[in-house]
Amino acid sequence: MAIFGISTFETEKYVSVKDPNKTAEDGATIFELGSLDADIKSRILDSGVSMVQTPQGTKIMPNQHGVWLEAVRYGLRGWNNFKDEKGKDIGFKTEKTFVNGKEYLCADLSSLNAVPQWLIKELGDHILAVNSVGEGVGETSATA
The residue ranking higher by pLDDT, 2 or 125, is: 125
Q: In the predicted model, is pLDDT for residue 1 greater than 90?
A: no
CB 3 within 8 A of CB 32: no
Beta strands, E only, 88-137? 94-99, 102-107
Check residue 140 and give its pLDDT.
35
Check residue 135 and give its pLDDT.
46
Check residue 52 and give its pLDDT.
82
Lowest mean pLDDT among 52-56, 87-91, 95-99, 123-127: 52-56
Query: How does residue 48 score in pLDDT terms, banded at 50, 70 and 90?
Result: confident
The most confident of 8-22, 42-56, 110-124, by mean pLDDT:
110-124
* Segment 2-17, tens digit of pLDDT: 666 666 667 899 999 9
* Segment 57-113, tens digit of pLDDT: 888 777 788 899 999 999 999 999 999 999 999 999 999 999 889 999 999 999 999
Check residue 61 and give its pLDDT.
75
CB 75 within 8 A of CB 106: no
Q: In the predicted model, is pLDDT for residue 136 greater than 60?
A: no
Q: Please state, in angstroms and rounded to a whole number, the distance separating the CA atoms of residues 2 and 144.
A: 10
